[in-house]
Every structure is written in structure tokens, then in C-alpha cells.
Amino acid sequence: MHSYEQAWDLVCEFVKDVGLRRHMLAVSAAMGFYAEKLDQDVDYWEIVGLIHDFDWEIHPDLDQHPIKGADILRERSWDEMMIRTILSHYSEGTGVEREEPIDFALLACDEITGLVIATVLVRPSKNITDVILKSIRNKWKDRRFAAGVDRDHVTEVTADFSRVCFAGQLELWEHIGNVLTAMQNKAEVLDLDGRLATT
């Protein structure tokens, strides 16, 4: 299996946008959190989270992403199951349905990280450790804030994740709290430890 370092090299090769890199690192953090919770392979889940959007900058539309990205991964002998999971995060375009716990986790962790990051970046401190769940809940209600985050979609894919992996017991706000915690644990990696307040 490719290592996390190789995954990061892949991201750096194809992604120059700092915000997109941060998104992928955030999803990776959330995936690692859930892998541990579900007694899965943490490294594997983190790598899937890290590379899931690696081709978005070169294929910035859903006619190509992630299908053409999958071609690049195959050319480079990446794990076929990883590729299948990445394809499943856009089933509508790829025809690859979500089947495994990791598939449902990826989609549930994907979009919500955008709302968490946006909530941090509007704070003067730019420090994720200052963010509480109530802050995100308030931003959630204002659909003009981080308008690209489809609240209905997040609710739907979280419910699917809950049903498949937690017997329906994972509530939306517990999930968002878990994602926040996972990202707080990686504040430095995400550059959300206050350093952006000084730049």
C-alpha cells in the first residue's frame, strides 16, 4: 500500500490551492477519527481522505472528477479498493455505489469540513480550538454562510453513514462534533492553530 507520505506527495503534485489542500487534510483527519472509532485501519482511511479530491484542480467539473483522477491513480498502481471508494463519493456520475463503511464515512466527512473551516476562518483568532459546536450550529442556520455547503446533502449522507456504521445511532450534530474534534486534534497540520491571524 502507498504510504501517507506518498499520498501527500500526490496532493502536492496536483493541488496548488492552499484551501483545497486544507480541505483534503481535514477530511483525512475526520476519516482517521472514524477509523479508530469503528476499529478500522486508520492509516488506510486517512490516506483515502487525503487523496479523494487530488484531481479536482485539474478536473474541476463532475464530468471528469473523480473518474479521470481514478485513471491517474491506476496508472500509478494505487490500491484498487481505494480507487473504488473515491469513485463512490460521486456515485451519480461514476456509477460506483457506496457499499463499505469507508465509502459512507468519506461522503459524510467530505462536505461538512467546509463549514467547519469557514467557521474558523471568520473568527479573529483563526484558531479551531476556539470554535465550539454551537458556533457551527449558528452558521449552519445561515444558509448564505458557506453557501457551497449543501446542508440537506450533509444531513442525508450523515443519516446513511449512521445507518450503515452506527445502527442509526449517530445523530447529525454528534457527527459534526466528531469532525470538529478530529480537526481540532490536527489544528497545526491544518494551519488552523491561529497562525493565519498574524498573516
Euclidean distance between CA atoms 22 and 50, whole angstroms: 9
pTM: 0.96
pLDDT digits (tens, 9 = 90+) for 30-64: 999 999 999 999 999 999 999 999 999 998 888 88
Burial zone of 135 (CB within 10 Å; 0-12 exposed, 13-18 middle, 19+ buried): middle
Burial zone of 17 (CB within 10 Å; 0-12 exposed, 13-18 middle, 19+ buried): exposed
pLDDT digits (tens, 9 = 90+) for 111-151: 999 999 999 999 999 999 999 999 999 999 999 999 999 99
Note whether 84 and 44 are within 8 A (CB): no
pLDDT at residue 104, rounded to an integer? 98
Mean of the per-residue pLDDT values of the chain: 96
Length of the chain as a residue count: 199
pLDDT at residue 136, rounded to an integer? 97
Q: Write down the domain spans for the chain.
A: 4-198
Note whether 77 and 65 are within 8 A (CB): no
Cα-Cα end-to-end distance for the chain? 38
pLDDT at residue 199, rounded to an integer? 59
Average pLDDT of span 154-167: 98
